[in-house]
Amino acid sequence: MKMSDLVAEYIVRMLDETGGNAEIRRNELAGILGCVPSQINYVITSRFTPEQGYIVESRRGGGGYIRITRVTADRRVAIMHIVNSIGERISYSAAAIILVNMADQNMISVYDRELISAALSDKVYSSVPQEQRDTLRASIMKNMLMTVMMLNN
């Protein structure tokens, strides 16, 4: 298992044990896990994002900390937040990550994830000019998520 996976797993365990709120001291956690503090930063910025259902606050300095809170919002609110965070363009890889996280958090079903992923795949856009693909993909993804949200109250 990679170090980043171990760090993420440790933080998720902390969140589970504390009801969704964890306060981390980067250097202490690095010491416990036997890694460098920058590895902790990398994991937090890549795996604990708002799109994945987390709020991260940090305070620098001697008494500094990183506070991670798992957001447990209403499913509809969470999907709307994701739709609003997509922006005007999205790559297939970014869309796929969002869909996997949504299914993991039971915001959408695995069936919905696979169906939306198929509609967003690069194969579908082969006849669309390269510079327009990510814009079209973002629009389709937003519309499909809104439809799933409305149909699956």
Same domain, 92 and 132: yes
| 20/56 same-domain check | yes
Query: Mind listing the pLDDT tens digit of every residue in the chain (153 residues)?
Result: 688 889 999 999 998 898 888 898 888 888 999 998 888 889 988 888 876 778 888 877 666 788 898 876 678 888 888 888 898 999 999 999 999 988 988 889 999 999 999 999 999 999 999 899 999 999 999 999 999 988 876
- Residue 101 near residue 54 (C-beta atoms within 8 A): no
What's the domain range around 22?
3-70
According to the model, what pLDDT value does residue 20 have?
Answer: 84
Last residue of a domain, one of 70, 86, 116: 70
pLDDT of 73 = 64
- Shared domain check, 81 and 49: no
Co-location of 65 and 132 in the same domain: no
Residues 83 and 43 in one domain: no
* Residue 91 sits in the same domain as residue 118: yes
In 3D, which of 96, 77, 97, 82 has the Cα closest to residue 145? 82
CA angle 112–21–52, rounded 5-degree value: 25
User: Hey, which bits of the chain come out as E strands?
Assistant: 21-24, 54-59, 65-70
Q: What is the pTM of this model?
A: 0.59
Q: How far apart are CA 58 and CA 68, in angstroms?
A: 9
